[in-house]
Structure 1
Amino acid sequence: MRPFDDIDRLAKTPALDRIAAPLRDTVHKVLKRQDVKDALHGVWMGHPLHPVLAQLTVGSFASAGMLDVLPRTRRPATALIAIGMVSAVPTAAAGWADYADGHEEQQRVGVVHAAANGVMLAGYAASLLARARGRSFKGALWGWAALAVGTVGASLGGHMAYHQAMGANHAEGYPHIGPGDWTDVGAADELEEGEPTRRIVGDVGVLVVRRGRTFHALADRCAHASAPLHEGSIVDGDGRGECVVCPWHGSVFRLDTGSVVHGPATAPQPTFRTRVRDGRLELAVTGYPGVPAS
């Protein structure tokens, strides 16, 4: 049996919802400021922030574990553990922000991931306390035990990211499978003014919004979690042009460029070129904001 089979059983355990759901609601209550949420999601980076911070935290702990094996290196190991403990604060904050906007199966694995990391941090706290009392070997033992638990937690995090696609760009395939040639999607006059509409271009769904003689076209699958954007709402983007709001988690994208205005999405929506010929609307995939059409 493969290890991820056991993790998949966690994801399909509804009993975990009794813990996962209240935690999700609590995070939403605490993270009320949109700018703070955007920063923690990593909107400013263009990809999730949590994995980047986790590299520093886990890397510090793993390096400390290796130094504890070598002679006369327990003092730098202690410093690395302290760095890991400090960096764990923003790492956890970013992780909780992403967790709150995940789907149920991701959150079930997420609470176990968080529990393992909590045990790990408790172990490292005990390690630092032992070292402060001059019991360096006992501190090293606590550190190795904490690292073992942390490895389990990191494996769960990797499963969430790679197996459950949490934080992945769910619209990445559009520039590669969307047709680059102009494709007829129907009469231009059929589109209602300002109403989000779904059209099929080749093998992909496209969100189309008409504004007079101007047509905006974006990938219909939200980059955050594949929600159908044509079921969302059109809003003013605070001076940045009209935007579409994802119907599932509230990500906001500009209609003209596809760029992210607010998370939890961090990747932009691929765009489509538009033109009207003989009263027919035609679309062709462009790619991402700032990337010229081929």
Structure 2
Amino acid sequence: MRALTRLEQATSLDRTAERVQRIVAAAIRPQRLRDILHGVAIGHPLHPALVQVPIGAWFSTAVLDLMPQQRRAATTLVAIGTAAALPTAITGWNDWGSLSREQQRVGLVHALANGMAIGLYAGSLAARLTGRHGLGRTLGYLGLAAVSSGGFLGGHLAYKQAASVNQGVPDLRRIEDGWHAVADMSALPQNKLLTRRIDDIAVVVYRDGDDVTVMLERCAHQSGPLGAGQVVRENGRTCVKCPWHGSTFELDGGEVVHGPASSDQQVLPTRVVGGVLQTRLP
């Protein structure tokens, strides 16, 4: 844990991170492609889902390499894992480009370990295809050690540093049950973002005619202040765009329209009683 803390604080990695970030931004340019790689269409990050294929194939290879007469099956799994690792890496770099500085430092080493694993398994595949199965097995086990180290760092990113998880959901646990007064309807301007608080939790209020949206103010991606965001139109829908990384959410429902956020922004139910706007937990 001390080593991981030092890695999070390794400012010497920042210059490299900035250079790599520019490369990633230039290489993955169309917004639609970025959204696909972030997992916007499926409602959660795509990278962790794809990771299962190369790791599963490579781990299965390690088991087959301990068994007799399984060379062909092991070689096939090495090929499948190595091929699947390439799109998996692309989704990972796409997510990495919009992480915080501390997360990017760990992410660089995570990517380095996984890159070494891809190289080792590519060498393992070449050795197996040319009949050098002993060398192929050795390179395979070295690759498994590298990808396991990368996976450990990936777990640290997800569970300790909360990379690519919905940052807003924990706020729901801090709001008490029941209806809460938000504001007088007469005081709500039309088509303007306002920030209000419920049990010390910030929410965004947006009025369009008689329709009012109340959503959590912390962006699901990296806790950016949606109350300071921009109201935009996307495909005929009124949306709020986060000022930090550009995640865009539909104001009527909270659906994510553009990443890097991959999950929807939480919208709270509303009602009007005696001219007062009220809201509660879903």
CA offsets 1:179-222 (integer angstroms, 9 cap, x no match) = 44221223333333322111111242110012233321111111
Taking structure 1 as the reference length, the TM-score comes to 0.91
* Distance in structure 2 (CA, Å) of the matches to 1:19 and 1:65: 34
Letter in structure 1 aligned against 2:270: T
1:122-137 map, 5 Å: 122-137=119-134
Any conservation in 2 of the 1:174–1:270 contact (CA below 8 Å)?
A: no
| Residue 281 of structure 2 is aligned to residue 285 of structure 1 | yes
1:114-125 map, 5 Å: 114-125=111-122
Q: Corresponding residue for 2:151?
A: 154
Q: Corresponding residue for 2:51?
A: 54
1:1-294 map, 5 Å: 4-239=1-236, 241-286=237-282
CA offsets 1:216-259 (integer angstroms, 9 cap, x no match) = 111111111111110101011211x2100011111111111011
- Percentage of identical aligned residues: 42
* Distance in structure 1 (CA, Å) of the matches to 2:2 and 2:74: 35
Please, which moves more after superposition, 89-98 or 197-206?
Answer: 197-206
SS of equivalent residue, structure 1 residue 234:
strand
Gaps of 5+ in 1: 287-294
Please, which moves more after superposition, 144-153 or 168-177?
Answer: 168-177
Any conservation in 2 of the 1:46–1:266 contact (CA below 8 Å)?
A: yes
Any conservation in 2 of the 1:208–1:217 contact (CA below 8 Å)?
A: yes
Letter in structure 2 aligned against 1:103: S
CA offsets 1:120-177 (integer angstroms, 9 cap, x no match) = 1111122122212211111101111111111111111111111111111112234444
CA RMSD for the aligned pairs?
A: 1.5
* Distance in structure 1 (CA, Å) of the matches to 2:223 and 2:11: 23
* Distance in structure 2 (CA, Å) of the matches to 1:122 and 1:212: 58
* Distance in structure 2 (CA, Å) of the matches to 1:264 and 1:109: 19
SS of equivalent residue, structure 2 residue 281:
strand
Any conservation in 2 of the 1:222–1:229 contact (CA below 8 Å)?
A: yes
Please, which moves more after superposition, 273-282 or 63-72?
Answer: 273-282
Q: Corresponding residue for 1:292?
A: none
* Distance in structure 2 (CA, Å) of the matches to 1:6 and 1:195: 47
* Distance in structure 1 (CA, Å) of the matches to 2:29 and 2:238: 23
Q: Corresponding residue for 1:291?
A: none
Gaps of 5+ in 2: none
SS of equivalent residue, structure 1 residue 285:
coil
| Alignment length (residue pairs) | 282
Any conservation in 1 of the 2:117–2:144 contact (CA below 8 Å)?
A: yes
Runs of 4+ with deviation above 6 angstroms: none
Letter in structure 2 aligned against 1:157: G
Any conservation in 1 of the 2:75–2:129 contact (CA below 8 Å)?
A: no
Taking structure 2 as the reference length, the TM-score comes to 0.95
Any conservation in 1 of the 2:43–2:263 contact (CA below 8 Å)?
A: yes
Note the C-alpha offset of 1:18. 1.4
Q: Corresponding residue for 1:290?
A: none
Any conservation in 2 of the 1:78–1:131 contact (CA below 8 Å)?
A: yes
